[in-house]
Amino acid sequence: MAKLVEQYIDIAKKRNPGEPEFHQTIEEVLTSLEPVLEANPQYVEAGLLDRLIEPERMITFRVPWVDDEGKVQVNRGFRVQFNSAIGPYKGGLRFAPSVYSGVVKFLGFEQIFKNALTGLPIGGGKGGADFDPTGKSDAEVMRFCQSFMTELYKHIGPDTDIPAGDLGVGAREIGYLFGQYKRILDQYSGVLTGKGIPYGGLQGRTEATGFGIVFFTREMLAHFGESLEGKSVAVSGFGNVAWGTVTKLNELGAKVVTISGPDGYVYDEDGVSGEKIDFMLKLRASGENIVEPYAEQFKSAKFFKGEKPWGVKADLYIPCATQNEIHIEDAKKMVENGCKYLCEGANMPTTNDALEYLQKHNVIIGPSKAANAGGVACSCIEMGQNAGHTVFTPTQVYEQLEQIMINIHKQAAAASAKYGYGYDLVKGANIAGFLRVAEAMMAQGIV
Ligand code: GLU
C-alpha cells in the first residue's frame, strides 16, 4: 500500500509543479491513509484517491484596481473548489503577497478534511489573492475587494460556494465583498460568512477559531489527566486566531507568555492578560503588522527582533500565525525545552520533518485541521442562521462550538486507535475526515 500511496503523491507532484505547500499536505495526509486503503480496496478500485487529489475546479482571475495615487494595479485572484461531496464548497479567502496557486490548493485540500471533521454539511474550498492589505487605505481595500468580487460572484452562491475570511481578510474586507455581491446580484443572502453582526453575521464567530483551539487543547490534555490551569503557553501570531486563543487560555487559567508578528516576538513574563489582550486588537487595527509596540507599552514585556518564540520554555506551544513557521531546528529547541504538547492554531504551521521529529520525541500534536475547525464550524452555523432568517445568541453558538470540538477530538482519537496508530491525532484527524468524504464520494458515483 505504501507504494500505491507514493504513486498518488507522485501524480500530484507532476501535475502541480512548483507548488511545494500542496505537495506537503498531500504527502502528510495520504501517508496516514495507508491502513485505511488496505482495509478498503473498493476505494482504490473506484479511483477515489485519483479524484480526491484533483480539485473539482480551480479559478484564476485578474483583479485590476486603482490605488490612491491613481496608478493601475493588477493582482491575481484565486478560488479552488476542491471537493463538494458532503456540501457546498466552504473556506476562507486569504489576501497576502505569498498567495499563489500552491498555497490556495494546500489550504483547499486541508479544508476538505477539516470541514468533514466538524460533522456539518460543508465541502472544501479556498481562495484569495496576492494582494497585501498592509499599509493600504480603506478606500484602496474597498476598490480591490469590489474588483475581486466582480469576478468571483460568477462562481459562488449561498448553496454553491460560501467564502469567508482568512489571513488579511477580516470584517472590513468581508463587508466590502458582501456589499459588492449584493449590488451586482440584488440578492441578500448568506453567500459569505464572518459578516458583521448588523447584517447577518453570527455572534461568537470572531472568537470561534481561537476558542475552538483551546477547547481542543483542553481535550488533548485531559486525555493525559492534565488541565490548562497554571500551564505556560507560547503563542505565535497576534491576529484574530491568536487573540481568540489568548482570551480563552486566560479564562481557563493558563498563562500566555508570547505573541509574535513578522517583525519578531514579545515575551511577557507576567502573561498576556486583561488590557494586554485588548492591546492585541489595537496592534491589528493599526494595519502595520508588527508587535514591537506591545513591548513599548508594557514594562513586563521584552521584544526579540526577527525571532520566533519557539526557543522559549513553555508547557505548551500554540502556533497561530501562518503555514510552515515551525521548522526542524525549532522542533529541536522545543524538545530540548521539554515540550510535551503542541496544538496547531494556524493551518499547517509545522513542516513535515519537524512534525516527524516532534512525534518521534513523544510530543503530542493537535493538528490544525482538527484544532482550528471551530472557525469554519461556526461559519456553517452562520449559514444556517442566514438561511433560517433568524439570529442565534452567543450562548447557543458557544455551546455548539464546544460540543463540536469535543466530538472532533473524540473522532480523531478513535480513528487513530482503530487503524493501529495509538493516540496520534494527526493521523486520526486525516483518517476520520477522509472516511466521511470517501463514503459520500462512493455513494455518488464517478463524478
Ligand atoms: N479561514 C478559516 C479556516 O481556515 C475559516 C473558513 C470559513 O469560515 O469558511 O478554516
Burial 232-265 (b: 16+ CB within 10 A, else e): ebbbbbbbbbbbbbbbbbbeeebbbbbbbbebbb
1-28 average pLDDT score = 94
Best probe residue, ligand 1, of 81, 160, 368, 376 (max atoms within 8 Å of C-beta): 376
Checking if the pLDDT of 21 tops 90, the result is: yes
Distance 40 CA to ligand 1 centre (A): 30
Q: Retrieve residue 144's grid coordinates.
A: 480591490
Give the strand pairing for 57-66 and 89-95: unpaired
Distance 94 CA to ligand 1 centre (A): 10
pLDDT in tens, 131-176: 999 899 999 999 999 999 999 999 999 999 999 999 999 999 999 9
Amino acid at 185: L
User: Which residues does a 6 A CB cutoff place in the pocket of ligand 1?
Assistant: 90-92, 114, 164, 166, 193, 347, 375-376, 379
Contact 63, 144 (CB under 8 A): yes
Distance 372 CA to ligand 1 centre (A): 9
Cell 448588523, residue? 198
Distance 149 CA to ligand 1 centre (A): 18
Q: What is the dihedral of CA 254, 219, 413, 442, to 10 degrees?
A: -110
Checking if the pLDDT of 287 tops 90, the result is: no
The pLDDT of residue 194 is 98
Rounded Cα gap, residues 357 and 362, in angstroms: 9
User: Which residues are bridge partners to 63 per DSSP?
Assistant: 75
CA nearest ligand 1 atom 9, residue: 91
Best probe residue, ligand 1, of 126, 379, 380 (max atoms within 8 Å of C-beta): 379
CA nearest ligand 1 atom 8, residue: 376
pLDDT in tens, 172-228: 999 999 999 999 999 999 999 999 999 999 999 999 999 999 999 999 999 999 999
Catalytic residues: 126
The pLDDT of residue 286 is 87
Rounded Cα gap, residues 235 and 213, in angstroms: 12
378-388 average pLDDT score = 98
Checking if the pLDDT of 409 tops 90, the result is: yes
Helix (H, G, I), strand (E, B) or coil at 85: coil
The pLDDT of residue 2 is 79
